[in-house]
Amino acid sequence: MTQTSNAQETFPLTCEPIGRTIEVHRDESLLAAALKAGMALPHSCRNGVCGTCKARIVHGVVDRGQYQAAALSEREREQGYALLCQAKPRSAVTIECKVIAAAAGIPVRKMVSRVLELERLAPDVMRIRLKLPAGHELRFLPGQYIDIVMNPKIRRSLSLANAPHGQGWLELHLRNYGGPFSTHVFTAMKVNDLLRFEGPLGTFFVREDSDKPMIFVGSGTGFAPIKAMIENALHRGCERPMILYWGGRRPADLYLNGLANSWVERGLSYVPVVSEARPDDGWTGRTGFVHRAVMEDFPDLSGVQVYACGAPVVVDSARSEFTTQRGLPPEEFYADSFVPGPAPAA
């Protein structure tokens, strides 16, 4: 341990099996320190909700922080697991973790962008296109996200909705939940405004080392990273079978339904699903929960990969029921849960 003042204490963190050791501040999460050091560890929400970053504490003591029981069970805690996004060191720590090689060489950057375009795709969904500074680019994998930084206390995570084909701009899909950033975008933001962001973040992206068919499951604006994944796959001429299930409460929630339908001509299968259709909607397609539509069509998921994104209840239900009722190997379920950002500090 290195000690100056209590706030500046640092402890060594060793990541196995790669055997790399870094220093972590007492008030810094193990995940944040690892990402800062360029280690691509599995993560998504960073709020203690999704459970993607769980890893086993082999040696040492950590403050486990705040997290939801669904993200880390009591049994897992007894087995020594913790959520790296919440765990902070209280001694030298060794963890057993998986480093994702595909993202290891992509740096997390802080950049200033300019608002290029604002377009309402639905009454409560805004498409934001951001122009990167001249001569700059952002390397990312389709499916990753960035953090919009309004000020040191307010950040909003948004998935990148475009594939990285060198356009010089980024596309975001924002649903208006009434938070500080949403309110600003829907009431005050203008073209040419400046936005600061940090990224790319997350480990939700297509695993290219497999030839299994891919099932994409999106709810609401969970379509955004899936859009990036599919557009990249089509651009690259991917030959793996792909099927998209996109769900919303009402037909208007499928805000780029025409785009998704256009992919069918290029080999994608597309199943839109509405859970709360009304008679005046004129909806004649599938109804119910989107993950249930997958289960109706696939009695056996043992030979596929699933990429799911959306509200935690959708992602958690899909993960649980696909693996326990349809034979999907747990390691073939990749997900990103859209959860509210942490409340601003007082």
Q: Would 207 be classed as within a structural domain?
A: no
Are 228 and 308 in the same domain? yes
Mean predicted confidence (pLDDT) in 80-85? 93
Q: Is 190 a domain residue?
A: yes
Which of 103, 127, 130, 112 has the alpha carbon at shortest distance from 221? 127
pLDDT beyond 70 at 3: no
pLDDT per position as a tens digit, 26-65: 999 999 898 888 788 888 778 888 888 999 999 999 999 8
* Total number of domains in the chain: 3
| Domain annotation covers residue 118 | yes
User: Do both 29 and 86 map to the same domain?
Assistant: yes
Do 111 and 196 contact (CB within 8 A), yes or no?
yes
Q: Find out whether 9 and 2 touch, Cβ atoms under 8 Å.
A: yes
Q: Are 273 and 255 contained in the same domain?
A: yes
Question: Per residue in 153-162, pLDDT tens?
Answer: 788 999 999 9
Indicate whether 342 belongs to any domain.
no
Residues 111 and 92 placed together within one structural domain of the fold: no
Q: How confident is the model at residue 321 (pLDDT cuts 50, 70, 90)?
A: very high
The percentage of residues in the chain with a pLDDT greater than 70, rounded to a whole number, is: 95
DSSP 233: H
Task: Give the pLDDT band (50/70/90) at residue 1.
Answer: low
What pLDDT, on the 0 to 100 scale, is given for residue 81?
93
Task: Say if residue 306 is in the same domain as residue 274.
Answer: yes
Check residues 11 and 155 and name the one with the higher pLDDT: 11
Q: Last residue of some domain: 201, 233, 254?
A: 201
Residues 211-240: tens digit of each pLDDT: 999 999 999 999 999 999 999 999 999 999
What pTM was estimated for this model as a whole?
Answer: 0.85
Confidence bin at 8 (pLDDT 50/70/90): confident
Helices (H), the chain: 30-36, 74-78, 101-104, 180-187, 223-236, 257-264, 290-297, 312-325
pLDDT at position 345 is 39
CA 14, CA 29: separation in Å to the nearest integer? 14
Poorest-pLDDT segment among 42-56, 273-287, 295-309, 332-346: 332-346
Q: Give the domain-ending residue among 100, 128, 151.
A: 100
Last residue of a domain, one of 100, 116, 135: 100
Mean pLDDT of the chain: 91
Is 346 inside a domain boundary? no
Q: What is the mean pLDDT of residues 282-302?
A: 97
* DSSP secondary structure letters along 118-184: EEEEETTEEEEEEEPPTT------TT-EEEEEEETTEEEEEEB-S--SS-SEEEEEEE--SSHHHHH
Give me the pLDDT at residue 344, please: 39
- Which candidate, 158, 125, 165, places its Cα nearest to that of 143? 158
Same domain for 125 and 85?
no
One domain for residues 226 and 295: yes
β pairing state of 269-274 and 242-248 = parallel
Judge whether residue 102 has pLDDT over 80: no
Q: Which two tokens stand for residue 214?
A: 């891919």
Q: What pLDDT, on a 0 to 100 scale, did the predictor assign at position 134?
A: 87
Which pLDDT belongs to residue 43?
Answer: 84
Q: Count CB neighbours of 202 within 10 A.
A: 25
Residue 343 belongs to some domain of the structure: no
pLDDT tens digits for range 304-314: 999 999 998 99
Same domain, 187 and 301: no
CATH number at residue 81: 3.10.20.30
Find the mean pLDDT for residues 15-34: 91
Residues 253 and 196 both lie in one domain: no
Q: Does position 4 have pLDDT exceeding 60, yes or no?
A: no
Chain centroid to CA 160: how far?
A: 9
290 falls within a domain: yes
Q: Which domain holds residue 262?
A: 214-337
Residues 127 and 37 in one domain: no
What confidence category does residue 346 fall into, taking pLDDT thresholds of 50, 70 and 90?
very low
Q: Which two tokens stand for residue 130?
A: 């951001």
pLDDT digits (tens, 9 = 90+) for 251-264: 999 999 999 999 99
Rounded to an integer, the average pLDDT of 112-136 is: 95
Both 96 and 118 in a single domain?
A: no
Stretch 133-154: mean pLDDT:
89
Which CATH number belongs to the domain containing residue 222 in this structure? 3.40.50.80
User: Could you give the CA distance from residue 85 to residue 46 in angstroms, rounded to a whole number?
Assistant: 5
